[in-house]
Structure 1
Amino acid sequence: MSPERTMTTSRPIRVGVVGVGAMGENHARVYSELRDVDLVGVADHDPDVARRVATEYGTEALEMERLLERCDAVTVAVPTHAHYETVSRCLESGVHVLVEKPIAETVEQGRKMATLARTAGLVLQVGHIERFNPAVQTVSELIDDLDVISLEAERLGPPIDRTAPGNVVFDLMVHDVDIVASLLDDDPESISAMGTDDGRYATTTMSFGDVVATVTASRVTQKKVRKLTVTARECLVEVDYLEQSVLIHRDSYPEYLVDDGQRRYRHESVVERPRVDNGEPLRHELESFVEAVRTGSEPTVTAEDAIDALETVKRIDALVSGEKPRRGREVEIR
């Protein structure tokens, strides 16, 4: 890494965004709001889009080469098929990168990107944004003290654009695959999976030793659901990603009551509501990235984390797409 790219002063970090579609524009918005950060420009294959976003957030629309000359760090939010070429170009220019998930189209590309960043001494963070959801961060602090039996994640809802052909395994399920692996600090030993409705609904079951994790993703469910349930011997933990809430159910017990001569049955439990410091996950993610750039520390979501998630979802997708609906296969991945 060249000396001018090393963050040894307190000057603002100079950042840019490559690709300012819906997600990239949000990155530009948050960068423009962060302290000690200077949004020096945005780039996009559509110059009109780049100019509109630049005007909205008080910066410049630049060609990519000029943007990289001005930046210490960039977000890459281009389509997945362009991740490898775009990220490599940024890293070769000595610029730190946060790239949206999945890290690349192939595991091999992801590994090459990781090697390139490591050799250059640059930060390569991957945008698995749910890691920065305050509710998930709260659970990650609890889980080490639990004897976990199972995890169940649901990411359901209708598509925003019903003409979009997005793959639910790569677009949606990858979030929860990464969350489960990070909470358990492990990779799955075996995977079974099935799908239906032309791959718009998929579910997988993964084993992590004595722990079982089930993850479901859907673009056909007429209600938006983003939930995680952790079953442990001590308690049941319910996480709502949308509400950014955590409920812990403990000491569940049955009880019979006598009311007006009639016996009634009820089941009670103690419910705890741990404090969750709510906030925008994207803001937490970009603050974390900027801190890693400034200090040279390892990012919260490393390239290796993202490569592991990509390997897992590729196995899941092969099982989902390789069989007729309602039939599943299992693969051992020891």
Structure 2
Amino acid sequence: MTRLKVGVAGAGVFGNYHAQKAAASARADLVGIFDVDLSRARKLADTFGTKGYSDYAEFLGLCDAVVIAVPAIWHEKLARQAIEAHCHVLVEKPLALTRVGARDLADEAAARGRILQVGHQERFVAMAMGVLAIEETPLLIESVRSGPPTPGGRAGDVSVIWDLMIHDLDLAAMMLGREFTHVEATGRKVHSAHIDEAEAVFDYASGGQAKLRASRAAEFRERTMRVVYPSGEIDIDFLTRRLKNTTPYEVRVDIATDLPDPLGAADEGFYAACLGLARSPVPAHGAVAAVAMAEAAEAKALAGAPAK
């Protein structure tokens, strides 16, 4: 096989993005768009000269590989059905909403010899910046990821922990290790039925700690990360591209030349893995830790979250 028959499940914003990548790829043929709303599926499919489907089983029958870009509450179910239909799967984050579900999906894909990749594009950014190449284990990671409510309530099916904090949970697992020993978390519901603002503190078996804050109810955007190592500190403002670095390691914030399109890089990595040309850049087993942390933080935050 030299080209991959790719279908996109979900005709929303991210489904559109992934469809664009498949349609433009030399390694993929976009064979269809699935959505529970057939008119939405057809509308997006028409843009790329392909066909829309509302029957998921029929859609899966056309595909070698499926990109799942539906609301998070449906990730696990649709990914499982695709794997059982012998499709490779790229699922947007989070992989699932429970550690058990995520682990089971990863195990099932491996047992069937299918690629299961998770859409943690932030890993590509951190790698291009040089952060993930640092061999020292951090003593502390502090991250803030916040912004105003999104138009139309995107990702309103889950809390901000699964929506935004999940990115930093995944990076923390990459840098501090996948085993955490303790978590404290608080949260607040603002404009949705789920937690819209959350703070979490994780202690890790490596001895490090992560302090994470996420909000989708802020007045303005904020995206920062501070990482403390035994040898110094790295302090990054991703919006202003300000960087303070007192470590001996090279870190860059201007990565546009090396990584102009993180989503495209992730999708191309997925296609290559499906075709046997490379390993998946974000394999499912490596994404289970972020799910476990999110699940633990959600439970703690819900236990103390005030009513809306």
What range describes the TM-score normalised by the shorter chain of this pair? 0.7 to 0.9
Contact 2:72/2:94 (8 A) holds in 1:
yes
Q: For 2:224, which of 224, 227, 234 is the aligned residue?
A: 227
Candidates 200, 205, 217, aligned match of 2:196: 200
3-state SS of the aligned residue for 1:207?
strand
For residues 219 and 41 of structure 2, what CA distance do their matches in structure 1 show?
A: 34
Report the 3-state secondary structure (helix = DSSP H, G, I; strand = E; otherwise coil) of the residue aligned with 2:61: helix
Gaps of 5+ in 2: none
Give the distance between the partners of 1:80 and 1:19, measured in 2 at CA. 11
Structure 1 stretch displaced more, 88-97 or 146-155: 146-155
Q: What does the per-residue CA deviation read over 1:20-65, in whole Å, with 9 as the maximum and x for residues that have no partner?
A: 2121111111211222221111111111111111111232223433
Aligned partner of 1:206: which letter? F
1:28 maps to 19
**Are the counterparts in 1 of residues 73 and 158 from structure 2 also a CA contact under 8 Å?**
no
How far does residue 178 in structure 1 lie from its aligned partner after superposition? 0.6
Partner of 1:89: 81
Could you say if the C-alpha distance between residues 74 and 143 of structure 1 is closer, same or farther in structure 2, counting changes exceeding 3 Å?
same
Q: 1:237 to 1:51 in 2, by over 3 A?
A: same
8 A Cα contact 1:235 1:248, kept in partner? no
Helix, strand or coil: the match of 1:121?
Answer: coil
TM-score (norm 1): 0.80
Larger Rg: 1
Residue 104 of structure 1 deviates from its aligned partner by 1.8
2:110 to 104, 118, 138: 118
SS state at 1:289 partner: helix
Secondary structure (helix, strand or coil) at the match of 1:148 reads coil
Q: Which residue of 1 is the match for residue 269 of structure 2? A: 288
1:104 counterpart SS class: coil
Greater strand share, 1 or 2? Answer: 1
The residue number in structure 1 matching 2:47 is: 56
Q: Distance in 1 between matches of 2:178 and 2:17?
A: 32
Tell me which moved more, 281-290 or 108-117.
108-117
1:74–1:242 distance in 2 versus 1, CA, 3 Å: farther
Contact 2:132 2:175 in 1 (8 A): no
Distance 2:149 2:229 in 1: 33
- 1:176 corresponds, among 156, 168, 172, to 168
Residues 301/36 of structure 1: CA separation in 2 closer, same or farther (3 Å cut)? closer
Assess if the C-alpha contact under 8 Å between 1:237 and 1:247 holds in 2: yes
Q: RMSD value over aligned CA atoms?
A: 2.6
State whether residues 237 and 246 of structure 1, in contact with CA within 8 Å, keep that contact through their aligned partners in structure 2: no
Whole-angstrom distance in 1 between the partners of 2:68 and 2:34: 10
- Give the corresponding residue for 2:149: 159
What corresponds to 1:237 in structure 2?
234
The alpha-carbon distance between structure 1 residues 162 and 59, as it changes in their structure 2 partners (threshold 3 A), is closer
State the SS of the aligned residue for 2:151.
coil
Q: 2: CA distance between counterparts of 1:128 and 1:273?
A: 20
Conserved 8 A contact 1:248-1:273? no
Distance (Å, rounded) in 2 between the aligned partners of 1:222 and 1:136: 30
Contact 1:189 1:207 (C-alpha < 8 Å) held by counterparts:
yes
CA shift digits 1:272-292 (9 cap, x unpaired): 747622312211110111111
CA contact under 8 A between 2:3 and 2:27: conserved in structure 1?
A: yes
Residues 273, 241 of structure 1: alpha-carbon distance in 2 compared, 3 angstrom cutoff: closer
The one-letter amino acid of 1:229's match is R
- Deviation of the 1:212 alpha carbon: 1.7
Report the secondary structure of 1:322's partner residue. Answer: helix
Aligned amino acid, residue 90 of structure 2: L
Q: 1:274-318, CA deviations, whole angstroms, 9 ceiling, x for partnerless residues?
A: 762231221111011111111175422222222221111111111
Q: In percent, how many aligned pairs have the same letter? A: 31
Q: TM-score, normalised by structure 2?
A: 0.86
Change (3 A) 1:240 1:74: farther
Question: Which one of the candidate residues 269, 278, 297 is aligned to 1:316?
Answer: 297
Cα 1:12–1:105 change in 2 (3 A) is: same
Cα gap change, 1:241 to 1:65, in 2 (>3 Å): farther
1:165 shift after superposition: 6.1
Question: Do the aligned residues in 1 keep the contact of 2:143 with 2:212 (CA within 8 Å)?
Answer: yes
Separation in 1, partners of 2:120, 2:137: 26
Match of 1:149 among 98, 120, 139: 139
Would you say the 8 A contact 1:18–1:78 is kept in 2?
yes
Aligned to 1:6: none
